[in-house]
Structure 1
Amino acid sequence: MWETVFHRMISQLIHTGQLVVTYPDGRETVYGPDDAPAARVRITDRATIRALCLNPELALGEGYMDGTILPENDDLEGLLRVLMRNRQESRMPAWVRWATRLRYFAQTWILRNTESSAQRNVAHHYDISDDLYRMFLDEDMQYSCAYFAHPDMTLEEAQAAKKAHIAAKLRIEPGMRVLDIGCGWGGMAMTLARDCGARVTGVTLSENQLATARRRADAAGLSDRIDFRLQDYRTVEGPFDRIVSVGMLEHVGVPHYGEYFGKVADLLEPDGIALIHTIGACSPPFAQSRWITKYIFPGGYIPSMSELAGPIERAGLWNYDVEVLRLHYAMTLRHWLARFDAHLDEVRRKYDERFVRMWRYYLIACYMTFEEDKQAVFQFQLGKRIDALPITRDYLYAGEDRIDDRKAAE
């Protein structure tokens, strides 16, 4: 029964490219025209076929993790490319469409991140081990989208360019008080303190990241200019001249956007500037990936531009500038995957094979989403006063050059 349902579902789904499926009994079926992109996959048991019929997105990730879904030559990218090119909700079975809509409407309750639940969600992903992240991140441990001013940049160069780009947007001067919401392992805070002369308060909910950030600041001789804290942003007291938040808004949740941007407004000086850097969807709001929220980022949510505009306006903030970084995160993730794969033997010694397949699925699925779907990175430049920034963008690139000159002089 379930193989028949699955066959009908895939027959209706694949219109672009070709997918060849080998069923558990060895039977091979071709779906779609003889055209690119193309992929071949073997499904090893009937339970996986049933799961794919009931919850395709979750079952695909779990099947790959468990080794019951086997792309030929482990070409997961090819398989995902075919599926993403053909992903249309109208072609899915009615029960899948209804389940997706119910999950979307339930997100208002599911994504209520209290201070305690937010800390649990952060610990799930960020308190695994620094050793794992060192295997694939750049030397500064920037776990967010890099900025590829040139496509041939190294990961280190692109992450340094990202920090310089953000610092230029913030217009930081020596002695300014800066709040880093979701400071991670401290790289952004250290850059702003060292290269711009700022006095930085960094807050995180990850005990692991906090310990590492403090050690790094101490080793760099920056402890007198940076205060790293284990603290929820909602309890921080200001004011601050500048606020930066990179890759943290994805963990806030739709019900808390008003609270988040209201807090940013409360913490900013009257002439202050905030830079919010977040993954975003260039599409109407949608239900989040069940696989991602179950295994990688519990409580996570990728906002659409339309979901952020209202809370920003109601907080009384000027939206000075919005930049949409397209494909930069796909390039970043491809660098991460290459470094992760270069350490596979070491990863396997520390974790089991299922973990390895989970992490590779996460990295590949993410860069495929940035390449094939309407997903990008938004940088919102916010403030209270109409004249807190120049009225043209010319200052941005001069600011980046000034930061590079300071670094070269050291």
Structure 2
Amino acid sequence: MFEKTFYKEFLKHSFNIPIKVNYWDGKTDVYGDGKPQATITFKEPVPIKDIQRNASLSLGEAYMDGKIEVDGSIEDLIDSAYTQSTSFMRNHKFIQWLPKAGKHTAKADKEDIQKHYDIGNDFYRLWLDKTMTYSCAYWEHPDDSLYDAQIQKVDHILAKLHPQPNRTLLDIGCGWGTLMLRAAKKYHLKVVGDTLSQEQYDYVKKEIKDQGLEDVADVRLEDYRKLGDVHFDYITSVGMFEHVGKDNLDGYFNCVYKYLKPNGIALIHGITRQQGGATNAWINKYIFPGGYVPGLSENIQHIIDNHMQIADLESLRRHYQRTLEHWDQNFRAKIPEVKKMFDERFIRMWDMYLQACAGSFKAGNIDVMQYLITKGASGHNLPMTRDYMYKD
């Protein structure tokens, strides 16, 4: 009896949209006014103590294991839960947002990166676009393809640097190399990419050779902190600082400072929370081991403490929501192929990850920011207005 009472109160306060709940005992309740926008079915109860300890982790695992089914949009449910002030996603009694210290040694970081990015290029190739870009795209038009939006994102980043030909660029956390290789080909820069992923390294190495860019492009399988006494005119880093951990953020921005030449310019792009830094137990356990999403003011303070200045700051939150929606649509279309690689639990996990992140961006729980940073007085190597960022 207490168990059912707990669930009723828990779910009644969790969403700001009407939902239908089918319980394990065959009973059904509707919470909220109007026609239910989603149906949640509990095939068996999740232990109350697990929900109280960490609702995100326990409910996420229950969905992965098929103990919970959702008929409707997980993205909309997550958006609703973050919007509802009394929900388990915002109430401190149910979710622990305080960051937990993680050991971010060079060895641990390499293992964490490879757990996610070395799942296999064949897997990522199924649902990313042909650029193999695994970060927020930039949607200039509603009907842009995912490929067009990713190319636009890369050009938007590089244009902000106001790059001059034959100068040097370091891409920290270069992924599958789209940004660094476009910088070499379109903007005539000499580029170096850095990654801890063996799969990404092998892919970029082959692309450099296939595209005939050996004279102007190089990729290193190396911890970003161990690149040596090198200096660059420009630095880019996309979707990287979320992996370094709270305690290493200052060191990360110090590396940006150290590797930049005097008056150099960096564009740092990553997931940020305007409400302050956070971790999520389910994401950390199953998706991004060692991950930490820093707060906006936290990053700004690290930039200032490392003697750099912000020339421009832009939020792309809605762009990432749309990117994730495209990824999930692609992923779902390729489930027959994914089933040849992974089991049902992995498929449910990955689908929930993409939808939940889209919902979190939609609700404003997380954001993605582009920090345009200069080493030296802000902007004297940049045009006076923003117009240059949007010219072809």
Structure 2 residue 376 is matched with structure 1 residue 385? yes
What's the TM-score once normalised by structure 2's chain length? 0.93
AA partner of residue 62 (structure 1): E
SS in 2 for 1:140: coil
CA distance in 2, matches of 1:318, 1:59: 42
Work out whether residues 43 and 68 of structure 1, in 8 Å CA contact, stay in contact via their aligned partners in 2: yes
Structure-1 residue corresponding to 2:86: 88
CA distance in 1, matches of 2:336, 2:33: 39
Q: 5 Å matches for 1:89-128? A: 95-96=93-94, 100=96, 104=98, 107=100, 109-110=101-102, 112-128=103-119
Tell me how far 1:208 sits from its aligned partner. 1.1
Which whole-Å deviations, capped at 9, do the CAs of 1:137-194 have from their partners, x for residues lacking one? 1111010000111111001111111111111111222211111100111111111111
In structure 2, give the amino acid aligned to 1:64.
Answer: Y
The farther-off stretch of 369-378 and 256-265 is 369-378
Q: Is the 2:80–2:363 Cα contact (8 Å) retained in structure 1?
A: no
- Residue 364 of structure 2 is matched in structure 1 by 373
Which amino acid in 2 is paired with 1:335? H
Distance 1:384 1:80 in 2: 39
Q: Does 1:311 find its partner at 2:283?
A: no
Deviation at 1:199, TM superposition (A): 0.9
Partners of 1:39 and 1:82 within 8 A in 2: no
The letter for the 2-side match of 1:76 is: I
1:9 counterpart residue number: 10
Listed one character per residue, the Cα deviations across residues 337-372 of structure 1 (whole Å, up to 9, x for unaligned) are: 111111111111111111111110011001111112
- Contact conserved, 1:214 with 1:223, CA < 8 A, in 2? no
The reply to whether residue 335 of structure 1 matches residue 326 of structure 2 is yes
Give CA deviations for 1:106-139 in whole Å, capped at 9, x if unaligned. Answer: 52x22x4111111011011000110110011111
CA contact (8 A) 1:2 1:53 kept: no
AA aligned to 2:254 is G
Cα–Cα, structure 1 residues 356 and 162, in superposed 2: closer, same or farther, change >3 Å?
same
1:19 maps to 19
Conserved? CA contact 1:127–1:208, under 8 Å: yes
Is 1:263 aligned to 2:255, yes or no? yes
CA contact (8 A) 1:203 1:228 kept: yes
Among 312, 315, 320, which residue is 2:311 paired with? 320
Over 6 Å off, 4+ runs? 89-94
> Does structure 1 retain, via aligned residues, the 8 Å contact 2:270–2:368?
yes
The 5 A counterparts of 1:246-257 are 246-257=238-249
Q: 1:58 & 1:359 partners in 2: Cα distance?
A: 14
* Other structure's SS at 1:311 match: helix
Contact 1:246-1:277 within 8 A present in 2 as well: yes
| Distance in 1 separating the partners of 2:152 and 2:330 | 20
Structure 1 residues 283, 162: CA separation in 2 closer, same or farther (over 3 Å shift)?
A: same
Contact 1:40 1:79 in 2 (8 A): no
For residues 137-286 of structure 1, the aligned pairs below 5 Å read: 137-236=128-227, 237-285=229-277
Partners of 2:273 and 2:296 within 8 A in 1: yes
- The aligned runs of 1:345-384 (5 Å cut-off) are 345-384=336-375
**Residues 14 and 87 of structure 2 are in contact (CA less than 8 Å); yes or no, is this contact kept in structure 1?**
no
Distance 1:148 1:164 in 2: 12
Deviation at 1:325, TM superposition (A): 1.3
* Aligned residues of 1:281 and 1:304 also touching (Cα < 8 A): yes
RMSD of the TM alignment (CA)? 2.0
Cα 1:241–1:361 change in 2 (3 A) is same
Corresponding residue for residue 291 of structure 1: 282
Q: What SS does structure 2 have at the residue aligned with 1:174?
A: coil
Match of 2:387 among 349, 370, 394: 394
* Partner residue, 2:56: 57
What percent identity do the matched residue pairs reach? 39
Distance (whole Å) between structure 1 residues aligned to residue 73 and residue 257 of structure 2 = 47
For 1:30 and 1:232, the matched residues in 2 are separated by 52
Deviation at residue 94 of structure 1 after TM alignment = 6.9
In structure 2, the partner of 1:29 is 29
TM-score for the superposition, normalised by structure 1: 0.89
Aligned length in residues = 388
Gaps spanning 5+ residues in structure 2: where? none
Q: 1:349 to 1:94 in 2, by over 3 A?
A: closer
Structure that is richer in helix per residue: 1
Q: Distance in 2 between matches of 1:333 and 1:91?
A: 20
